[in-house]
Amino acid sequence: MILAGGLGTRISEETLVKPKPLIEIGGMPILWHIMKIYSHYNINDFVICCGYKGNKIKEYFEQNKDESWEVKCVDTGLKTMTGGRLKRIKKYIDGNTFCFTYGDTVNDLNIKKLIEFHNNNKIIATVTACHPPEKYGVLKLQKEQVVDFQEKPVREGDWVNGGFFVLEPKVFDYIKDDDTVWEKEPMKKLSKCNQLNAYKHTGFYQSMDTLSDKRILEKMWKEKNAPWKVWK
């Protein structure tokens, strides 16, 4: 299940004409890159939660059938929040454990190991925890003197929600309605009742929130240095 319905206002230079998940990296939508990661681990059945310009996502999959994927594009509403979009696709889950992620984030996560971790812990929800990349160069100072400088280092002391969840159907009980933000009430409630675990991923992680982020990913792809390209 992939969230693909937001407005993408922080990258409006591109989203005025297309939904954020269709913004291209190396000539292919970032949504395609995410699905290729899952497909590498033999996960080929996708539910795309559409909203803003969702018709363009549907058109994309109608016109591009090169991959052996089963894709359902579901209109989950224009203003529905992340938790509400998740709840709206409940009927497509059919009582099974399922993966859930955002339509704008890539990494080199081993999804097979993530799922094994989730199943071994017998818990309702597992989130992938990642070290966030620093957006600015970091100075190390001794008084006024710069003694070291690192250009956009990884913040190894911090962990953030890197997307790429594994969830049990019980999770829908924690979501009230369309106004529910998944990252607020549901995740907080799950953590308080010890039903949310973190799978620590120390490898590559990058979300595409801004045009600058897109350029970073595009540069990596062009230089054939794209860590998220785990497929052949």
Q: pLDDT tens digits, residue range 23-71?
A: 999 999 999 999 999 999 999 999 999 999 999 999 999 999 899 999 9
pLDDT(97) > 90: yes
What is the average pLDDT across 179-188? 96
Domain 2-129+159-222 superfamily per CATH: Spore Coat Polysaccharide Biosynthesis Protein SpsA; Chain A (3.90.550.10)
pLDDT(188) > 60: yes
Which runs of E-coded beta strand occur in 67-201?
70-75, 98-102, 105-107, 125-130, 138-142, 145-150, 160-161, 165-167, 196-201
Query: What confidence score (pLDDT) does residue 107 get?
Result: 96
pLDDT(154) > 60: no
Spans of all domains in the chain = 2-129+159-222
What is the average pLDDT across 117-128? 96
Query: What confidence score (pLDDT) does residue 132 get?
Result: 79
Q: Which helix (H) or strand (E) holds 45?
A: strand 45-50
